[in-house]
Amino acid sequence: MEPNRAIKKVAVVGYNRLPFARQNTAYSTASNQDMMTAALNGLVERYQLQGALLGEVAGGAVLKHSSERNLMRECVLGTSLNPATPACDIQQACDTGIEAAVYIANKIALGQIEVGIAGGVDSTSNVPIVVTEHLRTTLLAANREKTFGGRLKQFFKLRPKDLFPVVLAGGEPRTGLSMGQHTELTAKHYGIKREDQDQLALESHQKMAKAYDEGFFKDMITPFLGLETDNNLRRDTSLEKLSRLKPSFDKVSGTLTAGNSTPFTDGASCVLLASEAWAHEHNLPVLAYITFAELAAIEYVENKHNLLLAPVHATNRMLKKAGLRLQDFDFYEIHEAFAAQVLTTLKIWESEILSKQFGYAPLGSIDRNKLNVKGSSLAAAHPFAATGGRVIATMAKLLHEKGSGKGFISVCAAGGQGITMIMEK
Residues marked active site are found at 94, 382, 412
Tell me 246's DSSP state.
P
Contact 310, 298 (CB under 8 A): yes
3-state secondary structure of 419: strand
What CA–CA distances, in Å, run from 94 to 63, 195, 226, 308, 340?
A: 11, 26, 26, 10, 17
The H or E element containing residue 74 is helix 71-77
Torsional class of 375: left (φ above 0), alpha (ψ -120 to 50), beta (otherwise) = left
Nearest CA to 115 among 277, 256, 301, 351?
A: 277
3-state secondary structure of 412: strand
Alpha carbons within 13 A on the beta-carbon side of 335? 33
Tell me 165's DSSP state.
P
Interhelix angle 179-190/339-350, nearest 10 degrees: 40
Nearest CA to 179 among 90, 265, 93, 266?
A: 93
